[in-house]
Amino acid sequence: MDKDLLLIENLRGYYKGIFGVVRAVDGVSLRVREGEKVGVAGESGCGKSSFAQLITGTTMPLLHYEGGAVRVNGYDIWKISPEVLRKEVKCKLISYVPQAMLNSLNPVKKIKEFIADMLRERTGCRYSVKNARKVAAQHFERLGLDANVLDLYPHELSGGMVQRSIIAISTIASPQLLIMDEPTSALDVSSQKKVIKMMIDIQRKGVIKSLVCIAHDLSALNQLCDRIVIMYAGKFVESGEGDDVTGNPLHPYTKALMGSLLPLEKETKYKSLSSIPGVVPDLRYPSLGCRFYDRCGRRMKICKVEDPPEIIKGKRIVKCWIYKKGGL
């Protein structure tokens, strides 16, 4: 139960192109234990999706791995050969669920044909479409999806169904760790509910062991995950138990995030929303100090010049100078 499933140490990944070098993920560390559900939250552009790609070992063309370790079950993702990564790690140990763009599935293949391809590729055996459909139907129904979806083409499905099918496809081989990138952002509320329910189900039913969910909706993450990590400008700024972080945010950014969320309680009906002034820093030229400096309401002189340390108290970690002197 306390065994570490995923261990990330000082992971760095930069975008390199003619625009320069963008330090999208600049030294993050994370520990995910078996049976844990971790949520990673932050604004758009803070590096969450890049982080997800770096964990899986497959990045979009411009994103480059720069350093750090990502360890799963004895494998260091970035040190093993691509073939070992493909055969042993992907789908079996770590699986990835992208945001439900309608183009995430091959538009000219029926879902069952795609799954048949996938099984053939992974196992090296000849899988007929019929057999693949049997296997997939079993798995789909276990997760509460209509198996007849398998006979359709991706463009015949609605966004919510595509997302749920993708979750099902990614978990066919019962991976130990599932990484989800903004699973509900592109969906309407009722589909979101179904997806969240499915995410709870797959862990409860033992299809996966641990979950890392990346989103910007803190309240949804809180419902789903045990632990929440807040990410800003390529670094983790706070982490802790879900209710703890959302109920008692410590880092100024987290506080500002909570303040800008749409509250659903009746009493707060007339409270105005606050937004965080300023914009996300240009990560081509990150400052040496705290990256939240320009937008922080509680900044100090030292925040500008030195990167804040991580202060640990029990299960909470905060990366902020405020808590250095007196402790939490």
Partner 1 sequence: MSGRVELLLKNKKLQVYLGIAIIIIMLGLVGPFFTRDPSKILVGGIYESPSSEFLLGTDMAGRDIFAQLCNAIRDSLMVGIIAGFSAVGIAIIIGGVLAYKGGIIDEGANVITNVFLTLPQLVILMVVASLLGKRSLIIVAILIGLFSWPWMARSIRSQLLSLKERKFVDLCRISGKSDFVIVVKEILPNMLAYIFLLLIIGISSAVIVESGISVLGLGPTEGFTLGKMLNLVIRHEAVQQGIWWYFIPPGLVLVVFTGSLLMITAVIDDVLNPKTREI
Partner 2 sequence: MGQKFSRKSREKTEERRENGIKNILASNKGSLFTKKPFTRFITKKVFFLLLALFFSLTLVFIIPYLTPLNPLDIIMSRLAARPGMTTTQIETIYERYNVLFGLDKPLVVQYYLFWKRVLTLDFGVSIALYPNKVMSLVLYAVPWTLSLIIPVWVLSFILGNYLGSRAAFSKNKIVHTFYTISVCLNASPYYWFGLILVYLFAVNLRWFPSSGAYDPFLKVSLNPKFLLSVAYHYVLPFFSLLITSIGNWCTGMRAMTIYEKQSDYVFYSRQLGFTENRLRSYAQRNALLPQITGLPIILSSLIGQTLIVEYVFGWPGLGTLSYHAIAAIDYPMIQALFLITVGLVLIGNLSVDIIYGFIDPRIRTGYIGG
Q: Is 125 exposed, middle or buried (0-12, 13-18, 19+ CB in 10 A)?
A: exposed
Under a CB-based contact definition with an 8 Å cutoff, are residues 164 and 227 in contact? no
Instruction: Choose which of 81, 190, 272, 275 interacts with partner 2 (CB under 8 A).
Output: 190
Contacting residue, 10, 44, 103, 260, with partner 2 by CB under 8 A: 103
Closer to partner 2 by CB, 10 or 268: give it: 268
How many residues interact with partner 2 (rule CB under 8 A)? 43
Complex with partner 1: residue 20 or 297, whichever CB lies closer: 20
- Residue 118 in contact with partner 2, rule: CB under 8 A: yes
Q: Which two tokens stand for residue 175?
A: 């991976």
Collapse the DSSP code of 30 into the 3-class scheme (helix H, G, I; strand E, B; otherwise coil) and give the result: strand
Q: Does residue 141 belong to the site contacting partner 2 (CB under 8 A)?
A: no
**Lookup result for tokens 């949520």:** 39
Distances (CA, A) of 79 to 12, 87, 178: 14, 15, 21
Residue 72 CA to residue 69 CA, distance in Å, equals 10
Question: Residues 12, 33, 86, 134: which binds partner 2 (CB under 8 A)?
Answer: 86
Q: 3-state DSSP call for residue 239?
A: strand
Burial of residue 129 (CB within 10 Å: 0-12, 13-18, 19+) is middle
Nearer to partner 2, 41 or 161 (CB): 161
Which residues have CB under 8 Å from 126's CB, separation 6+? 120
- Strand positions, DSSP E, the chain: 4-17, 20-33, 37-41, 63-72, 75-76, 94-97, 177-181, 210-215, 227-232, 235-241, 311-313, 316-318
Residue 219 binds what, of partner 1, partner 2, none (CB under 5 to 8 Å, by partner type)? none
Q: Work out whether 149 is an interface residue with partner 2 (CB under 8 A).
A: yes
- For the CB of residue 118, give the shortest distance to partner 2 in the complex, in Å: 6
Q: Which of 218, 234, 136 lies closest to 184 in space, CA to CA?
A: 218
SS3 (DSSP) at 245 = helix
Residue from 20, 62, 156, 260 touching partner 1 (CB under 8 A): that is 62
Single out the residue of 152, 186, 311, 322 in contact with partner 2 (rule: CB under 8 A).
Answer: 152
Q: State the DSSP string of 109-137.
A: S-HHHHHHHHHHHHH-S---HHHHHHHHH
At 178, the amino acid letter reads L
Smallest gap from residue 48 Cβ to partner 1 (A)? 22
Question: Residue 86 or 134: which CB sits closer to partner 2?
Answer: 86
Query: Does 189 engage in binding with partner 2 (CB under 8 A)?
Result: yes
Q: Does 217 bind partner 2 (CB under 8 A)?
A: no
Q: Which of 30, 70, 116, 157 binds partner 2 (CB under 8 A)?
A: 157
Binding partner at 192 among partner 2, partner 1, none, C-beta below 5 to 8 Å by kind: none
Residues 106 and 114: beta-carbon distance below 8 Å? yes
According to the binding rule CB under 8 A, does residue 61 interact with partner 1? yes
49 touches partner 2 (CB under 8 A):
no
C-beta of 191: minimal distance to partner 1 in Å? Answer: 28
- Report, in Å, the least distance between residue 11 CB and partner 1: 22
| Residue of 17, 20, 107, 277 that binds partner 1 (CB under 8 A) | 17
- Measured from the CB of residue 61, what is the shortest distance to partner 1 in angstroms? 4
Distance CA 256, CA 280 (A): 14
Does residue 20 touch partner 1 according to CB under 8 A? no
Q: Which residues bind partner 1 (CB under 8 A)?
A: 17, 61-62
The binding site for partner 2 (CB under 8 A) comprises 56, 58, 60-61, 86-87, 90-91, 95-96, 98, 101, 103-108, 110, 117-118, 121-122, 146, 148-149, 151-153, 155-161, 166, 169-170, 188-191
